[in-house]
């Protein structure tokens, strides 16, 4: 069988689905790999690096035409989608809520589509969990970028001229990105607070040295799959009061709160921003889904009342090599689970929870 991948629109997506290291793994289990010419050049992966591992570099149209399985980050452009044929398999992160109609049309053409953000949170799927591997890096990078824009020192410093106090950081949402943000901020010497609608997060936050802010009378708002679910109006009111008081002493806020398939919850409102210290920074990782903060704009730094609000469409474009290496490993593990090595073909076993959760029907 032939596995292929074509270049993404690099203005939107710099990550790639196949690295030279992962290519070697595909050829070892019997795949032939073809890629678009100059596929990884922008990350320092030259065509020659791929050719050494037995890869063929061809034109984009040839990859689309010849590949049995096509691996991507985002959904292919409309021109490429029209050229897909029956029984081809497309694997990536296809944002099923935004691209529902396109994906259904492809499924009707009997093209096998797997969207990896739908992976179940089970032990067997951990090595394929693209949300965790990518969110981990996003949480780290959000802290680093926030600190680089903050005009004070982060750790406490005791000098002959006096003491510089440690910066105070609040992380909103203690999922994978939030926990990495807590760990990164703590390593750099900040005092870290965190809040989450899932009460199970408290132990994880405290194990990393953070202080968990508990909403009085809160319930555990966690789905059976481990994701946050929408809070009640009563919870939101209590959370707003707690955050309003906390934000008065916070220097840097990292927002990571998302509900799959829905607009990001608005957590930091205009009146809260007005009470924050001038020079404070907010990094909104939920920007592309509407933002957790009033005034968040994608790919802009907005300043309100002396507070800078940051949010990017794709923060991982700023760590494309690290994120590509992890993504490529996740995807290989998914393909390995899908591939019957003896029969040398994919096996869509609908009794496999991993397959039934990710396939688009």
Catalytic residue among 132, 146, 280, 323: 132
3-state DSSP call for residue 304?
Answer: strand
Q: CB pairs under 8 A, 24+ apart, for 23-28?
A: 23/50, 23/53, 23/54, 23/55, 24/53, 25/332, 26/332, 26/335, 27/53, 27/54
Nearest CA among 206, 212, 129 for reference residue 171: 212
- Compute the chain's Rg from CA coordinates: 22
Which residues are CB-neighbours of 96 under 8 A, at least 6 positions away? 103, 115, 117, 118, 261, 360
The verdict on whether 129 is a catalytic residue reads yes
Catalytic residue among 121, 318, 322, 352: 121
Helices (H) and strands (E) in the chain, counts: 12, 17
* CB 119, CB 157: distance < 8 Å: no
Kindly report the number of other CB atoms within 10 A of residue 236's CB atom. 16
| Token pair listed for 6 | 């074509």
Which residues are CB-neighbours of 298 under 8 A, at least 6 positions away? 287, 288, 311, 312, 313
Catalytic residue among 49, 68, 107, 227: 227
Nearest CA among 320, 318, 319, 300 for reference residue 310: 300
Cα–Cα distance, 167 to 248 (Å, whole number): 13
Give the HSE-up count for residue 279: Cα atoms under 13 Å, Cβ half-sphere.
8
The verdict on whether 227 is a catalytic residue reads yes
| Token pair listed for 301 | 């730094």
DSSP string, 262-284: SPPP--B-HHHHHTSPTT-EEEE
The verdict on whether 72 is a catalytic residue reads no
The CA distances from residue 121 to 99, 127, 190, in Å, are 23, 11, 31
Nearest CA among 193, 91, 184, 175 for reference residue 134: 175
Catalytic residue among 126, 207, 232, 245: 126
Catalytic residue among 129, 196, 251, 284: 129
User: Which residues are identified as catalytic?
Assistant: 121, 126, 129, 132, 227
């Amino acid at each position: 069988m032939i596995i292929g991948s074509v270049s993404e629109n690099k203005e939107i997506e710099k990550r790639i689905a196949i690295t030279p290291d992962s290519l070697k793994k595909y050829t070892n289990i019997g795949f032939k790999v073809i890629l678009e010419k100059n596929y990884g050049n922008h990350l320092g992966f030259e065509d020659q690096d791929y050719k050494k591992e037995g890869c063929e570099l061809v034109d984009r149209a040839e990859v689309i035409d010849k590949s049995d399985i096509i691996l991507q980050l985002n959904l292919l452009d409309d021109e490429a989608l029209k050229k897909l044929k029956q029984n081809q398999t497309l694997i990536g992160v296809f944002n099923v809520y935004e691209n529902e109609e396109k994906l259904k049309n492809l499924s009707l053409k009997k093209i096998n589509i797997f969207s990896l953000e739908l992976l179940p949170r089970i032990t067997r799927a951990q090595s394929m969990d693209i949300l965790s591997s990518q969110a981990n890096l996003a949480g780290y990078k959000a802290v680093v970028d926030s600190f680089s824009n903050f005009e004070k020192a982060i750790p406490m410093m005791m000098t002959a001229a006096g003491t510089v106090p440690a910066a105070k950081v609040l992380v909103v949402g203690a999922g994978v990105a939030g926990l990495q943000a807590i760990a990164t901020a703590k390593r750099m010497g900040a005092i870290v607070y965190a809040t989450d609608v899932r009460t199970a997060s408290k132990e994880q936050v405290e194990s990393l040295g953070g202080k968990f802010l508990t909403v009085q009378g809160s319930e555990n708002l966690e789905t059976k799959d481990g994701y946050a679910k929408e809070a009640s109006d009563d919870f939101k009111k209590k959370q707003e009061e707690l955050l309003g008081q906390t934000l008065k002493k916070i220097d840097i806020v990292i927002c990571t709160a998302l509900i799959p398939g829905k607009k990001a919850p608005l957590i930091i409102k205009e009146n809260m921003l007005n009470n924050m210290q001038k020079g404070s920074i907010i990094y909104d990782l939920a920007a592309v889904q509407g933002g957790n903060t009033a005034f968040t704009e994608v790919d802009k730094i907005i300043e309100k009342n002396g507070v800078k609000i940051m949010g990017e469409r794709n923060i991982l474009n700023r760590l494309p090599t690290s994120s590509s290496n992890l993504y490529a490993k996740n995807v290989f593990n998914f393909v390995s689970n899908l591939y019957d090595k003896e029969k040398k073909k994919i096996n869509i076993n609908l009794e496999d929870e991993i397959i039934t959760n990710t396939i688009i029907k």
